[in-house]
Structure 1
Amino acid sequence: MSFQSAPVSTASRPRSAMVLAAGLGKRMRPITATTPKPLVEVAGRALVDHGLDRLAAAGVERAVVNVHYLADLVEVHVKKRAAPAILVSDERAKLLDTGGGIAKALPELGSEPFYLWNSDSFWIEGYRRNLDILAETWDADAMDALLLLSPTVGAIGYSGKGDFLMDTVGRLSRRPEGHVAPFAYAGAAIIHPRLFADVPAGPFSLNLLFDRAIEAGRLHGARMGGVWLHVGTPAAIREAEEAIRDSSV
């Protein structure tokens, strides 16, 4: 059973969000030959809707969703939603990668910190809602980005070596080559637009900016509650649905 945390002050919550939904979903083939990964269903609901539902519950009023692969399907689907209000960032002509896609959408996101959500990010909530954990941990004076991190041990569907080390005050560093790190990025974050100062034109990875923030001591992490469901392959869908069923017993 999962429990919900007490409400976070509305003043501390981001009101906008960027949802990354433009990827090709190659590891999810053959499902993604005809269905874009954001619309792949887990437990009877599209992945992108699981995310947008949680963003709406966290007080997000407006979400920018970028589209590229099978873009018409994604755009029609998300525009049916009543909340949050959806704006589409069109990358049909050229896929801009994670960093370039956000940079293109910045005029719509505004000058305040915003939630970032990978459209395939998915988890079973713990005692406190994870977007609340991010909002409560966020410190704009000390951070340019705050990443939601899952312990690699206990994550469902994840077999990687982890992404980050975290110190006692939450600052992050990269996993040293040849080593295993205790935390993996769970695909949700709070980002300040200043992270995108002096970025290159065109496609680039968000990892470029994470590395800049690490050098400045301004990339931080928050340990998530509950269980991260890494839905990266067709087999992982079944694992995720089994974990959801088990959690509701």
Structure 2
Amino acid sequence: MRVERLGVRYGALVALQDVSWHVAAGEILGIIGPNGAGKSSCYDAATHMAARSGRVWLGGRDVTELPPHALAGLGLKRAFQQNNFFTTMTVLDNMVAVLAPEAGTGLLPSLLLPLREARRRAALESEAAALLERFGVPRALHGLRPPNIPYGSQRMLSIALAFGRGARVLMLDEPAAGLGGADMAHLAALLRRLRGEGVAIVLIEHHMDLIMSVADRILVLDQGRPLASGPPQAIQADPRVREAYLGQAA
């Protein structure tokens, strides 16, 4: 995925200006910056969820004018800062709901071929359960509603629902928010595994230990503009980053 000169304005407020980046298959790009730096606006711009200037390419194809749902259909998937799921459905049914549109049938076949539909439902449930376990949501939680499972599992569920059957590019907005200990270690392992499977990952994160340990490259935003980019070691040593992001004099 590649974006060039993204810009976002909210009235007179310039939230993002001339931001460009790229991420390759099997690579993790981290995006960091102080609060208000334009990180989430960058995600909204890249996924066409905000009015913006600039251009976006996915796999060499110019997708600038495509709406968000069309981008998802091409493999650009996004999880948001807040957990996103259907709170009145079970964990398993949440995953089935994500998978079903690609394998669904109409009302008439459902009425006329109930046995076939029952088999299809069983296959979807089996696939959904396997995906949930792959993302660290244990089978013992599948029959519960999302608000009733541990917070760490809620975060993994949100990522699993965004990923679905697969993603070419997975954009995650602060997935480590509220996590610690074993949950943080599991998230780091999941990110590395997805990278090893060839997924391109774009990661906004405030947990510096996590992003410095998993990112291949990091883009630093400050006041809506690019401040620095490079490998984690170079970003840690950059005096401009320490001044803007860590509050230390350069």
TM-score by structure 2 length? Answer: 0.25
Q: Quick check: which has more Rg, 1 or 2? A: 2
RCO (CA 8 Å, sep 6+): is it higher in 1 or 2? 2
TM-score by structure 1 length? Answer: 0.25
Select the structure that is richer in helix: 2
